[in-house]
């Protein structure tokens, strides 16, 4: 899922007395993970959940916990959920041929000089190189205006050639059963048919995670959160 291998000899070990201070600085120093108490401190996650979230040194680190996340274009990274591994076949009993990606909603498609803009050519290259067929958009239409991408749906269908699935889910709310079930059913059909899909809400985590977990359960995963 776009992870990086931690080099155990890279950063200097940090004294184990203040993970909170390290976590609070993650968006300012933009250095990504740090070694704390002889473990890898995931600073973004620790800040979000209010507790020290760590990994063993040498483990794979999510892309959004690396310094590359803060580089230009980093927050438009596509995270891939591995669906075609031997472990998945053992668990669900079949080889899922479609590929599943998540990301944030593209920003400033209409204002490419904006410092937070999603670079259109790079995005379209990802669509083509990953043979993407479907995009599941969970944001409300006013969010596309807020993100300076009010032409989002037209961009997807006309410039990217994607089949757009749009049933909005209000942010910070539990989706209606009919809406979530529709997304899950359509997503599972596409993946089982070997067609690659991209799912996103505003930031690519909350609403996106809800739909992804439901789809994985429907595909036969016993512990989709893991």
pTM: 0.82
Does residue 98 contact residue 197 with C-beta atoms inside 8 Å? Answer: yes
* 197-221 confidence digits (pLDDT tens): 999 999 998 899 999 999 998 888 8
Please tell me the distance from the alpha carbon of residue 175 to that of residue 25, in angstroms, as a whole number.
33
Which burial class, exposed, middle or buried, applies to 68 when counting CB atoms under 10 A from its CB (0-12, 13-18, 19+)?
A: middle
Please tell me the distance from the alpha carbon of residue 61 to that of residue 40, in angstroms, as a whole number.
9
What per-residue confidence (pLDDT) applies to 125?
A: 97
Position with higher pLDDT, 118 vs 205? 118
What per-residue confidence (pLDDT) applies to 15?
A: 59
Does residue 36 contact residue 4 with C-beta atoms inside 8 Å? Answer: no
Residue with tokens 């909005």: 168
Please tell me the distance from the alpha carbon of residue 91 to that of residue 101, in angstroms, as a whole number.
20
Percent of the chain with pLDDT over 90: 66
* 146-191 confidence digits (pLDDT tens): 999 999 999 999 999 999 999 898 887 766 777 888 889 999 999 9
Domains, the chain, in order of start with CATH, read 4-70 (no CATH), 74-219 (3.90.190.10)
Which burial class, exposed, middle or buried, applies to 163 when counting CB atoms under 10 A from its CB (0-12, 13-18, 19+)?
A: middle
């Amino acid at each position: 899922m776009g992870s990086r291998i931690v080099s155990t000899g890279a950063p200097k070990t940090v004294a184990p007395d203040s993970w909170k201070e390290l976590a609070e600085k993650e968006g300012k120093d933009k250095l990504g993970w740090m070694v704390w108490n002889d473990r890898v401190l995931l600073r973004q996650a620790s800040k979000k959940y209010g507790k020290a979230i760590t990994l063993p040194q040498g483990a794979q680190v999510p892309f959004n916990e690396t310094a590359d996340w803060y580089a230009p274009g980093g927050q438009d990274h596509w995270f891939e959920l591995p669906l075609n591994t031997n472990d998945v076949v053992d668990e669900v009993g079949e080889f899922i041929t479609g590929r599943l990606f998540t990301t944030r909603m593209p920003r400033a498609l209409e204002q490419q000089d904006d410092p937070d803009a999603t670079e259109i050519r790079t995005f379209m290259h990802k669509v083509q190189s990953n043979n993407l067929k479907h995009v599941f958009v969970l944001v409300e239409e006013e969010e596309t205006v807020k993100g300076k991408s009010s032409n989002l749906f037209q961009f997807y269908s006309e410039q990217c050639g994607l089949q757009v699935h749009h049933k909005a889910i209000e942010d910070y709310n539990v989706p209606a059963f009919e809406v979530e079930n529709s997304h899950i059913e359509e997503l599972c059909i596409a993946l089982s048919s070997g067609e690659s899909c991209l799912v996103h809400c505003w930031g690519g985590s909350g609403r996106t995670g809800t739909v992804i977990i439901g789809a994985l359960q429907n595909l036969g995963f016993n512990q989709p959160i893991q």
